[in-house]
Structure 1
Amino acid sequence: MSVIAHLRVPAMSFELGQILDVSEGRSIVLEDLVPLGEQAVPFFTIHGTEESEAFRAAVQNHPTVKDIQAVSSHEDRTLFALDWDVSQDRLFEGIEATNAHLLGATGGPNTWEFELRFRSHGALSDFKEYCSEAGISLEVARIYNPTRPESGPFYGLTQRQRDTLVRAVRKGYYSLPREISTQDLADEFDISDQAVTERLRRAIVALVDNSLVAAMEGQEEPGSPEP
């Protein structure tokens, strides 16, 4: 049975936290992590009055960064796309090794908070052991099982996933013919259309995993043969 863990990690203890170094009063929200072969391109938003050009130049100079591009800006927020060598990041290596799903991440000057879904408590323990051996300091803030009634009505979806999926349904994204495009949704949330597509995909996977799949697993009897 899957579990969701809220974790706190010092910014300087993993590669991406060192790359995305922000000053006091600023924060970073990792919008989506889009696989691209052996690389990973994250979209992230800086909140605050960070000088975007100075920040971009500092990130670009990091040895594991191939490119960083400002996608859009709105008031005190700037959306970036980062192309960096994820293989050098031990934290993300551990996430991949334990087949965990990244539901959300928020970073500040000193600490990042992650929301990860693991297939089981055992997988979470494996991840904690991995981080300990890799020298990554990890604080577990909260653990809950999204299939339990007390976990709430949202089936493990993050706030952004819920908002995007609800908006897509209400605006007719799944209607025939389609009444709104991914680009229209992207404009409403001030992110890229690729980020919208990935966010919807993650939302649907989480919703099905924690509702239909969980219900079907609950009906199965231990040891019963496959039909």
Structure 2
Amino acid sequence: MTVIVHLRVPADAFELGRILRRAGDAAVALETMVPLGELAVPFFWVDDGGSAPFEAAVARHGTVSSVRRVGSREGRTLYELAWDSGADRLFAAVREVEATVLNAGATAATWEFELRFPSHDALGRFRTRCQEAGIPLDVGRVYNPAKLDGSAWYGLTEAQRRTLSAAVREGYYAIPRRISTRELGEEFGVSDQAVTERLRRAIVSLTEHTVLTVTTDGPPDDGVGHDPEPGTGPGSGAAP
């Protein structure tokens, strides 16, 4: 039976973590991990101020074949990394037990993973392989998604749920704003860019699991009158 696990791994305990630690003071936020055959190709953001030295340092790493700029946005550059994952015993263990990387986020010192295992036995074998490789795991939440109410978190990972909850509770979306992404990042031990990406993904997931599931174009036919949105009623001059 499928098991989903949230865990933390020190960045210096596995190859990809050591590669991205070459960023030095540059802030790095993992965007996604794309499976390509036997490989998991990471895409990640780097602050433009530190991207040039970061690019040069990563390209010199022995297991990296290329690091390619994909795009840029709001003072950050998106990279694609091609590397020899065969030297990475953490990802070797992931492949061996046929686990799937659902989500991953990195700070300078720690990586957070959300992994899906085909069974509890596979999770046990994964932990054994990591122990044999000297890779310490800080295992957090372990759950069977089939036993959860499908609407419980509306597709959010635990990290996204906690970050979004804190942002709303502490006034990130208030006017005027009462807390910044940098301050939220300090609470969770991650960069402000990582907080921004978590919030973005959380909002996308909430929208996909709520708003985009509505199949009608108008308000619900519940027998109750609904006022038009401001600026959209008759005589407002708004475009139809």
User: Above 0.5 in TM-score?
Assistant: yes
Distance 1:43 1:81 in 2: 5
Retained in 1: the 8 A contact 2:26–2:54? no
Report the alpha carbon displacement of residue 112 of structure 1 after superposing the two structures with TM: 0.5
Distance 1:4 1:105 in 2: 13
The alignment's TM-score, normalised by the length of structure 2, stands at: 0.61
Retained in 2: the 8 A contact 1:26–1:50? no
Retained in 2: the 8 A contact 1:71–1:81? yes
One-letter amino acid matched to 1:60: A
Report the alpha carbon displacement of residue 87 of structure 1 after superposing the two structures with TM: 0.6
Report the alpha carbon displacement of residue 150 of structure 1 after superposing the two structures with TM: 4.9
Report the alpha carbon displacement of residue 119 of structure 1 after superposing the two structures with TM: 1.1
Retained in 2: the 8 A contact 1:10–1:112? yes
Deviation per residue, 1:119-174 (Å, 9 max, x gap)? 1111111111110001111110111111113572546778749827939x95xxxx
One-letter amino acid matched to 1:69: R
Retained in 1: the 8 A contact 2:11–2:17? yes
One-letter amino acid matched to 2:134: G
Structure 1 residues 3-12 or 118-127, which shifts more?
118-127
Distance 1:125 1:147 in 2: 19
Partner residue in 1 for 2:190: none
The answer as to 2:30 corresponding to 1:29 is yes
Report the alpha carbon displacement of residue 25 of structure 1 after superposing the two structures with TM: 7.5
Partner residue in 2 for 1:208: none
Partner residue in 2 for 1:107: 106
Deviation per residue, 1:11-66 (Å, 9 max, x gap)? 00000000011345723214122315x444322223x4651111110000000000
Partner residue in 2 for 1:117: 116
Retained in 2: the 8 A contact 1:8–1:114? yes
Distance 1:155 1:143 in 2: 16
Distance 1:13 1:50 in 2: 27
Retained in 1: the 8 A contact 2:16–2:88? yes
The answer as to 2:204 corresponding to 1:163 is yes
Matches within 5 A, 1:71-220: 71-150=70-149, 152-154=152-154, 160=201, 163=204, 166=208
Retained in 1: the 8 A contact 2:98–2:117? yes
In the alignment, structure 2 segments of 5+ residues that lack a partner are: 161-197, 213-240
Retained in 1: the 8 A contact 2:24–2:54? no
Q: Cα distance 1:119–1:155, how it changes in 2: closer, same or farther (>3 A)?
A: farther
Q: Secondary structure at the match of 2:125?
A: helix
Partner residue in 2 for 1:62: 61
Q: Secondary structure at the match of 2:34?
A: strand
Q: Secondary structure at the match of 1:41?
A: strand
Q: Cα distance 1:30–1:95, how it changes in 2: closer, same or farther (>3 A)?
A: farther
Retained in 1: the 8 A contact 2:70–2:79? yes
Partner residue in 1 for 2:192: none
In the alignment, structure 1 segments of 5+ residues that lack a partner are: 171-227
Distance 1:67 1:101 in 2: 24
Retained in 2: the 8 A contact 1:64–1:88? yes
Q: Cα distance 1:34–1:63, how it changes in 2: closer, same or farther (>3 A)?
A: same
Retained in 1: the 8 A contact 2:19–2:58? yes
Q: Cα distance 1:40–1:101, how it changes in 2: closer, same or farther (>3 A)?
A: closer
Q: Secondary structure at the match of 1:51?
A: helix
Q: Secondary structure at the match of 1:127?
A: helix
Distance 2:75 2:35 in 1: 24
Retained in 1: the 8 A contact 2:33–2:104? no
